[in-house]
Amino acid sequence: ALPEGAMSNGVYVLPSAANGDVKPVVSSTPLVDFLMQLEDYTPTIPDAVTGYYLNRAGFEASDPRIIRLISLAARKFISDIANDALQHCKMKGTASGSSRSKSKDRKYTLTTEDLTPALSEYGINVKKPHYFT
Amino acid sequence: RSGSKQSTNPADNYHLARRRTLQVVVSSLLTEAGFESAEKASVETLTEMLQSYISEIGRSAKSYCEHTARTQPTLSDIVVTLVEMGFNVDTLPAYAKRSQRMVITAPPVTNQPVTPKALTAGQNRPHPPHIPSHFPEFPDPHTYIKTPTYREPVSDYQVLREKAASQRRDVERALTRFMAKTGETQSLFKDDVSTFPLIAARPFTIPYLTALLPSELEMQQMEETDSSEQDEQTDTENLPLHISTEESGAEKENTSVLQHNPSLSGSRNGEENIIDNPYLRPVKKPKIRRKK
C-alpha cells in the first residue's frame, strides 16, 4: 500500500519533455498539502458520524484526516446546492419587481420548488407529491 | 425511517442519532447560506442526499482501492472518486479556508453496560486466539462450571461413639414400643395405660417346670450314651432353640428364653422364622460310642 504523505512529486513527463517547455500533463495529487492542514481542522460534520457512514459502505479509514476531507467534500456539495437554491429564491423574489426597500433578503425559506431546479442542474430529479392520498 | 412509533432497538437508535446529526448539519449549512427557514421536506431531501453522498464516496473509494489490489484507501483513491462524482477538487482548499464556523458535537457514545465489581465472581476465561478481541467477554465461570461439594463426614471418635450409642438406644426404644403396641401390654400405673406400656410377661402354666427338667447340657450328655439312630433327632431338636437375638431389648430376651422350654418339651414352633447362623449352632461334639 502506498504510505500516506510520502507521495513523491509524481509528475508525468512526456517523452518529448527534454526541451523543457512542455507542461506536465498530470500533476501530483493536489490535496497533499491541503491534507497536512487538516490536522486540527474540525469540519461541521463530526468525525464519528462520517466515519459511521463510511464504515457502513465498507470504507475503513486508517487516517482521520481522510475522514475530514470527505466530510468537507460532502459539506461543500450540499452547500453548493443550497447556494443554487438561494439564487433561485432570490431570482423569483426580485423577478416579480418588488420594491428594493422591502428586500426579501431577510427571510429566505428553502422550499421544494426552489430545490428542484437547483438539483436538476446536478442531474438529480426529485418529484415530491404535494399531497398524500 | 419516518415512523416514530416503531420499537427502537439499540441499532436503530445508533442509526437515528447519526441521522439527526446530519440533519443538524444540513440546517447549519442552510443557515450559513442565508436561509432563515426551510421546508421540512427539503431538509429531509438534503439530509438523504448528504447521507447517500458520503456512503457513495466510501463505496467508490473502496472499489478504486481494491481495484489496485490494496485494502487501505489512500488520498489518491478519494481524489479519483471525487473526480468521478463530478466534484471540482481544486476548489476544496479555498472552500475550507472560507468557512470555518460551526462545529457540531458528535452524538454521545454510550458505554457498554459493565457489571459492577460486586457482582462479578471469579476470573473470566480469556479469549482463545481465534476469537477477535472486540467480541464480548466470556461469562463468569460460575455460570458454566459446577463443583459439587461434599461435607467431610465427621470422624471424631467421641462424636461417633455418641452417635452410635444414641442410634442404638433409639432403635431399641422403637422396637420395644412396637412390640408393646402390637402385643399384649401390662401397665405400671393404674389409670394411665398408654404412657409406659410394658410388654406383658407370659405366665407359665406350670412355673416350676424349668426346675424339674434337665438342662440342655445334661440332655446332650444323656443322648450321647444312646445309640446312633437318635443322632438326627437330637440335631433337629436343638435347632429351634436358637432364635437369633441380635437386635433385642431386655424384654425380648426374656420372651425368647421363655420360648426355649416349650419347644424343648417337644413342640416345634416357627422353624421357618429361624435364621440359621452357622456360628450360633450348638457345638457338635463327636459321638462317643461306648461299647455295649
How many CB atoms are located within 10 Å of the residue B131 CB? 12
Which candidate from A49, A76, A109 shows the least CB-CB separation from B95?
A: A76
Residue of B23, B37, B44, B57 to mutate for A, most A C-beta atoms under 10 A: B57
Nearest chain A alpha carbon to B41: A112
Which candidate from B37, B50, B75 shows the least CB-CB separation from A78?
A: B50
Whether B3 is covered by a domain: the verdict is no
Q: What is the pLDDT along chain B (292 residues), one digit of tens a residue?
A: 444 555 667 778 778 888 888 888 888 888 877 788 888 888 888 898 899 999 999 999 999 999 999 888 888 888 889 888 888 888 888 887 776 655 555 555 555 555 566 666 667 777 888 888 888 888 877 788 888 888 888 888 999 999 999 999 999 999 988 888 888 777 777 777 677 777 777 777 887 887 888 777 777 777 777 655 555 554 544 444 444 344 444 444 455 444 444 444 444 444 546 667 777 777 778 877 776 5
Which residues of chain B lie closer than 8 angstroms to A54, CB-CB? 54-55, 57-58
How many CB atoms are located within 10 Å of the residue B213 CB? 13
Question: What CATH number is given for A31-93+109-122 in this structure?
Answer: 1.10.20
**A24 vs B28, which has greater pLDDT?**
B28
Query: How many Cβ pairs closer than 8 A exist between chain A and B?
Result: 186
> Rounded to an integer, what distance in angstroms lies between the CA atom of residue B125 and that of residue B142?
11
CB contact, 8 Å: B37 with chain A?
Answer: yes
Spacing of C-alpha A87 from chain mean position: 17
How many residues can be counted in chain A?
Answer: 133
Nearest chain A alpha carbon to B40: A111
Which residues of chain A lie closer than 8 angstroms to B56, CB-CB? 57
Indicate yes or no: CB of B46 within 8 angstroms of CB of A50.
no
CB contact, 8 Å: A127 with chain B?
Answer: no
> Among residues B75, B97, B119, which one ends one of the domains?
B97
Among residues 99-118 of chain B, which lie with CB inside 8 Å of chain A?
Answer: 99-100, 102-107, 109
- pLDDT tens-digit profile of A59-84? 888 888 888 888 888 888 888 888 88
Is it the case that residue A115 has pLDDT exceeding 50?
A: yes
> Among residues B208, B226, B244, which one ends one of the domains?
B226
pLDDT value at position A1? 39
pLDDT value at position B1? 46
CB contact, 8 Å: A87 with chain B?
Answer: no
pLDDT value at position B118? 64
Are B81 and A74 in contact, with CB atoms under 8 Å apart?
Answer: no
Domain holding B169, by residue range, is: 157-226
Three cell numbers at A87?
Answer: 439564487
Which residues of chain A lie closer than 8 angstroms to B12, CB-CB? none
Are B74 and A4 in contact, with CB atoms under 8 Å apart?
Answer: yes
Indicate yes or no: CB of B42 within 8 angstroms of CB of A115.
yes
All residues at 6 or more sequence positions from B214 whose CB lies less than 8 Å from its CB, including other chains: B222
pLDDT value at position B261? 47
Residue of A55, A68, A77 to mutate for B, most B C-beta atoms under 10 A: A77
pLDDT value at position B171? 95
Are B176 and B249 in contact, with CB atoms under 8 Å apart?
Answer: yes
Looking at the 3D structure of chain B, how many domains does it have? 2
Which CATH number belongs to the domain containing residue B76 in this structure? 1.10.20.10
Whether B109 is covered by a domain: the verdict is no
Query: Parallel, antiparallel, or unpaired for β A109-110 and B185-187?
Result: unpaired
Running DSSP on this structure, what letter comes out for residue B108? P
Whether B54 is covered by a domain: the verdict is yes
User: Are both B89 and B162 inside the same structural domain?
Assistant: no
Which residues of chain B lie closer than 8 angstroms to A74, CB-CB? 50, 53-54, 57
Kindly list the domain boundaries of chain A, sorted by start residue: 31-93+109-122
pLDDT value at position A97? 58
Whether B285 is covered by a domain: the verdict is no
> Among residues B97, B113, B142, which one ends one of the domains?
B97
pLDDT value at position B94? 80
Question: How much is the CA Rg of chain B, to the nearest whole Å?
Answer: 52
- Rounded alpha-carbon distances, angstroms, from residue A95 to A105, A121, B26: 14, 20, 28
CB contact, 8 Å: A100 with chain B?
Answer: no
User: Are both B165 and B92 inside the same structural domain?
Assistant: no
> Rounded to an integer, what distance in angstroms lies between the CA atom of residue B226 and that of residue B94?
143
Spacing of C-alpha B97 from chain mean position: 70
CB contact, 8 Å: B42 with chain A?
Answer: yes
Q: What φ, ψ does residue A110 adopt, rounded to 5°?
A: -80, 115
pLDDT value at position A4? 41
Q: What φ, ψ does residue B187 adopt, rounded to 5°?
A: -120, 145
Query: Parallel, antiparallel, or unpaired for β B37-38 and A109-110?
Result: parallel
Give the torsion through C-alpha atoms of B13, B17, B23, B28, to 10 deg. 170
Residue of A32, A45, A66, A111 to mutate for B, most B C-beta atoms under 10 A: A45
Indicate yes or no: CB of B35 within 8 angstroms of CB of A109.
yes
pLDDT value at position A6? 39
pLDDT value at position B209? 81
pLDDT value at position B166? 96
